Amino acid sequence: MSASLIGARVQRKEDYRFLTGAGQYTDDVTLPNQSYAAFVRSPHAHATIKSIKIDKAKKAPGVIAVYTGEDVAQAKLGGLPCGWLITDVNGQPMKEPPHPVLAQGKVRYVGDQVAVVVAETQEQARDAAEQVEVSYDVLPAVVDAVQATKKGAPVLHDIAPDNTCYVWALGDKAAVDAAFAKAAHVTKLEFVNNRLIPNAIEPRSANGSYSRADDNYTLYVASQNPHVERLLMTAFVMGLPEHKVRVVAPDVGGGFGSKIYLYAEDVAVTWASRQVGRPVKWTADRSESFVSDAHGRDHHTIAEMAMDKDGKFIGMRVHTHANVGAYLSTFASCVPTILYATLLAGQYTTPLIYCQVTAVFTNTAPVDAYRGAGRPEATYVVERLVETAAREMKLDPAEIRRRNFIREFPYQTPVALQYDTGDYEATLAAAIKMADVAGFAKRKEEAAKGGKLRGLGYAAYIEACGIAPSAVAGSLGARAGLFEAGEIRVHPTGSVTVFTGSHSHGQGHETTFAQVVAERLGMPVENVDIVHGDTSKILFGMGTYGSRSIAVGGTAIVKALDKIIDKGKKIAAHLMEASEGDVEYDKGVFKVSGTDKQKAFGEVAFAAYVPHNYPHDKLEPGLNENAFYDPSNFTFPAGSYVCEVEIDPDTGQTKIVNFTAVDDFGKIINPMIVEGQVHGGLTQGIGQALTENCHYDPDTGQLVTGSFSDYCIPRADDVPSYQVDTRETPCTHNPLGVKGCGEAGAIGAPAAVINAITDALWSMGIKDIPMPATAQTVWKAIQSASKKAA
Amino acid sequence: MHAFKYHRPGSVKDAAALVGKNADAKLLGGGQTLVQTMKLRLASPTDVVDLGTIKELAGIKVAGGTVEVGAMTRHAAVAGSAEVKKAIPALAALAGMIGDRQVREMGTIGGSIANSDPAADYPAAVLGLGATIITDKRKIEADKFFTGMFETALQPGEIITAVSFPVPKRAAYMKFKNPASRFAIVGVFVAETGNGIRVAVTGAGPNAFRVPEMEKALGAKFAPESVAKVKVKADDLNSDLHASAEYRAHLVTVMAKRAVEAAMK
């Protein structure tokens, strides 16, 4: 066997399909007798519905049916469920207001779905949707989480009169307060972690169909986790048994979290398909995506770090208002709590941490997990505090980090997590070298000659990936398991089909997972196909989010491979007339130890399916195994980023002149795919820091940034050519030693960029700059600083 | 998009006849604004009259100290024209800064100026160079063409056939882009022409406008420092999420300074 496939830059098997236009996305699926749906959405942020007249729409050309909230209520469709129960500081369950499939008498954000029209063509459905006459009584709206908790704020849900979903806390407040009382220095910051709109390249899409012949439903949907979608839809909303529903998530063009959730549209088309007796397809246009996809981030935070005289962190205190939007999306409740506060130790030995989170309903689209989900927000808190503390205490920002790094593992943080392994000094040292921090002073001087301001900022992030174990998550409120399933189906002539509950929507599983299997079975990657995204083919699955696929899904596959090899050994022992204990296996070859007897994996597979000479008394024929894997802990990727910026003080424009990322993802299967994930993550992180901002008008609740003309996702010319590298401390509790890499860039980049900008502006007395640091924002900060100085 | 009737006239005369008798008909240039608004269902013309098939409307003629650009000439053609690059390099450069590659391959100069989008680039060149807008009915001076936000001196049904730019002694365009749309938050076109100095601003106000104080200062001395202290009033300028009126006013001075610097190179 040639060089190992683990660590090889194997070209992505899926790219030929995607690059030649042969991908099959949900909207590409058109079924016989297809019909099309269009949704009538609220133009108001907050209003009661006085009446809905559908007569005109029903008579419009091509219209098959029109449904409103009344119809779904009569059909007894449940509301969309939330998958995680948070228990508040008083031991009470969070407030879970109903989240109806179609509005029940009230709308709570611009884009809230009010009615659905089914017609012969998409254009006819849209034309008719304009004919649905909805009469509203407009109510005052509130879009800001802090404002929404104030007395007199408009109330969204009767069960939450103060708009508060929960007040939750982690840590020993009294002990933390005591640490602050004896601090030599306290650094305090107040900032907003800006709200983002995910904008996957493929808009959401769903195509539901019902078969009268066998009483089965099929839903094609752009989803990151079809099994969970099916579970939530059948058990909680439609009251159907799971075996009557098949959910298929075919090729999916990006998700970033926004396609994890069960959305109203998915339920509506599935339900409507039975009512009209035809398949019903809906695909969002971009404008619809902007208003109706779950958004990300949107925290308002006050954060403090207490230090002793040497800059050693002795306590941290954080209070966050998290905007959850108008309704609780599927995992909305755990993002600003379980995935946020638990990460506040960062890479440091801070012994005492207290975090309080107030989750708030507002008249905005639901907010849920978006690339990083809670961890970018936590990293921003930690790394902005650390960098600012260093500057205030006149310490080198790298040095203050070194003084506080965790160096002994396993390490129990004060915020529940136990890190298994890491080497933070190594990634920081490598990043400093790669970014040529030593030459920065000279570059700054050069830039100043041209009237430009240079700054350099760090971010040392940690993330918790592969959320687990199920038992612990369950005790914290998870309403689902967090394992993964995998199946290895060896065919008679030795090629292999792998079924995984993970879902690929850009990550490259079809290649990475094939490398893992091909390496173990000693065959070329071409002989291994990965199948995912179909509940009728795959045992079960929890899907892809939280950088969990290789760590959890990959391990399930390894467990199934173990079973294949075990069975193969038994068959090989029989074929070679040896005892099973003497059979050794290595990369596709079964050998009898101490002899030259051997059987290739393919021969063993063939014997399993053509069992003429076979131990029938001990074994069943066939070579097909499955496994479920529930991890014993999270994995903890970590890394150090260095960002260097140049600011034009005349315009406020920031240019990133250099960005260095050194990550520790544990073992790496395919470095090329990992680099791609890092590049994408960094670009999204830079987007949050510099360009992206979801803005609702504070008075009317209208989405101002509802198109790419106003919502700026970064383009190639907005970002530099990245310098990336990796260090490796293998994860200690999974067989591949892998940690996950999908979100790191988006987690670490925002703090690095803002730390660099504030470094450039520090001498002007500018301590903080809000995200996104657009040219206007930076210019205004410079203006008001120079006015103060004058 | 609502349903509509699509026409492909073979001549300007036929096109004029089609829009002349129907107030709900729209002329289609490169479609970079009209098609988008139709897709968003914000515009619902009964008839769309595509000028793309009228051969006489496209093309660039450089002669006798003028550059005449046919109304249906795509931005990419102007940006890539060796003749334009030689005669008025600032005009070619401006066309190359519009939108993105896809927009430049479709968008046309006639469509751009007829729309008079406050943030479009071409109006700065038309006004900054003192161009003449030629229609099927008459010739209109640039100074009289842009009358307001999305408003021009064009009569209903009047069709732009070409824009004639006098070749200046020197000129330059500097643009501060809206990072999202890539339209101009502020764009300043500075030109030294046979008829004096002209400074035209796009993006900042309801429509493109000239800055007489800067023109006067540059007439006295064509140097960046001449405009560095000239501030336009923020009162009448646009204000939105991306740039307040004050920021735009400031950027007019910064971009004017940089345009003068560039023109002097």
Residue B256 neighbours by CB under 8 Å, 6+ apart: B174, B188, B190, B199, B201, B211, B214, B227, B230
Q: Is there a domain that residue A82 lies in?
A: yes
CA distance linking residue A173 with residue A428, whole number of Å: 32
pLDDT in tens, B197-255: 999 999 999 999 999 999 999 999 999 999 999 999 999 999 999 999 999 999 999 99
- Output the domain CATH number for residue A608: 3.30.365.10
Residues of B in contact with A779 (CB under 8 A): 247, 250
Q: Is there a domain that residue A195 lies in?
A: no
CB contact under 8 A, A780 and B247: yes
**Other residues' Cβ atoms within 10 Å of the Cβ of residue A570:** 16
A561: containing domain: 483-629
The answer to whether residues A123 and A25 belong to one domain is yes
Interface of A with B in 711-750 (CB under 8 A): 711-712, 718
Q: Choose among B2, B180, B251: nearest Cβ to A708.
A: B180
Q: What is the pLDDT of residue A2?
A: 57
pLDDT in tens, B24-55: 999 999 999 999 999 999 999 999 999 999 99
The answer to whether residues A589 and A663 belong to one domain is no
Identify the domain boundary among A598, A629, A660: A629
CB contact under 8 A, B241 and A127: no
Q: How far is B247 from chain A (nearest CA, A)?
A: 7
The answer to whether residues A103 and A250 belong to one domain is yes
Assess contact for A259 and A223: CB atoms under 8 A.
Answer: yes
CB contact under 8 A, A710 and B241: yes
Q: How far is A202 from chain B (nearest CA, A)?
A: 18
The answer to whether residues A285 and A349 belong to one domain is no
B49-86: string of b/e by CB count within 10 Å (b at 16+)? bbbbebeebbebebeeebbbbbbbbbbbbbbebeebbe
What are chain B's domains? 5-54 (3.30.43.10), 58-264 (3.30.465.10)
CB contact under 8 A, B244 and A691: no
CB contact under 8 A, A695 and B181: no
Interface test with A, best of B241, B248, B257 (most A CBs within 10 A): B241
Shortest CA distance to A283 belongs to which of A125, A132, A130? A125
Q: How far is B223 from chain A (nearest CA, A)?
A: 18
Looking at the structure of chain A, the number of domains it has is 3
- Alpha helices (H) in A312-393, listed in sequence order: 375-392
Q: How far is B81 from chain A (nearest CA, A)?
A: 25
**In terms of CA atoms, which chain A residue is nearest residue B247?**
A776
Residues of A in contact with B180 (CB under 8 A): 691, 708-712
Residues of B in contact with A787 (CB under 8 A): none
Reported for A52-58, long-range contacts at CB under 8 A and 24+ positions apart, including other chains, are A52/A114, A52/A115, A52/A132, A52/A133, A52/A134, A52/A135, A53/A132, A53/A133, A53/A134, A53/A135, A54/A115, A54/A132, A54/A133, A56/A131, A56/A132, A56/A133, A57/A117, A57/A128, A57/A129, A57/A131, A57/A132, A58/A128
Q: Is there a domain that residue A189 lies in?
A: no
Tell me the pTM.
0.97
The answer to whether residues A463 and A494 belong to one domain is no
CA distance linking residue A11 with residue A672, whole number of Å: 8
Phi, psi of A27 (to 5 degrees): -65, -20
Six token digits for residue A731:
């994860």
- Output the domain CATH number for residue A234: 3.90.1170.50
Residues of B in contact with A711 (CB under 8 A): 180
Six token digits for residue A112:
């809230």
The answer to whether residues A288 and A392 belong to one domain is no
Pairing of strands A353-361, A313-325: parallel
Q: Is there a domain that residue A166 lies in?
A: no
B21, burial (CB in 10 Å: exposed 0-12, middle 13-18, buried 19+): exposed
From start to end of B92-195, where are the E strands?
Answer: 132-135, 139-141, 146-148, 151-152, 160-166, 170-177, 184-193
CB contact under 8 A, A710 and B181: yes
Q: What is the pLDDT of residue A325?
A: 98
From start to end of A621-754, where are the E strands?
Answer: 624-629, 638-648, 653-664, 723-727
Locus of tokens 């007829």? B114
Q: Choose among B183, B242, B254: nearest Cβ to A650.
A: B254
**In terms of CA atoms, which chain B residue is nearest residue A705?**
B241
Shortest CA distance to A313 belongs to which of A431, A222, A180? A180
The answer to whether residues A286 and A361 belong to one domain is no
Residues of A in contact with B179 (CB under 8 A): 691, 712, 718, 774-775
Residues of B in contact with A712 (CB under 8 A): 179-180
Is the Cα dihedral A636, A741, A456, A300 positive or negative?
Answer: negative
The answer to whether residues A134 and A46 belong to one domain is yes
**Splitting chain A (790 residues) into consecutive groups of 10 residues, what average pLDDT does each group show?**
85 95 97 98 98 98 98 96 96 97 98 98 97 98 98 98 98 98 98 97 98 97 96 95 97 96 98 98 97 98 98 98 98 96 98 98 98 97 98 98 98 95 98 98 98 98 91 88 95 96 94 97 96 96 91 96 97 96 95 96 97 95 97 96 98 98 98 98 98 98 97 95 97 96 97 98 97 98 90
The answer to whether residues A447 and A498 belong to one domain is no
The answer to whether residues A577 and A506 belong to one domain is yes
Q: Is there a domain that residue A766 lies in?
A: yes
Assess contact for A623 and A521: CB atoms under 8 A.
Answer: no
The answer to whether residues A601 and A662 belong to one domain is no
Q: What is the pLDDT of residue A328?
A: 98
Identify the domain boundary among A590, A610, A629: A629
Q: What is the pLDDT of residue A468?
A: 81
CB contact under 8 A, B1 and A718: no
Q: How far is A760 from chain B (nearest CA, A)?
A: 21
CB contact under 8 A, B179 and A779: no
Q: Is there a domain that residue A155 lies in?
A: no
Q: What is the pLDDT of residue A789?
A: 82
Identify the domain boundary among A629, A661, A691: A629
Interface test with A, best of B39, B183, B247, B253 (most A CBs within 10 A): B247
Is the minimum CB–CB distance between A62 and chain B shorter than 8 Å? Answer: no
Q: Is there a domain that residue A666 lies in?
A: yes
Chain B residues whose C-beta sits inside 8 Å of any chain A C-beta:
1-3, 40-41, 176, 178-181, 183, 241-244, 247, 250-251, 254
Q: Is there a domain that residue A181 lies in?
A: no
The answer to whether residues A597 and A557 belong to one domain is yes
Q: How far is B32 from chain A (nearest CA, A)?
A: 13
Residues of A in contact with B224 (CB under 8 A): none
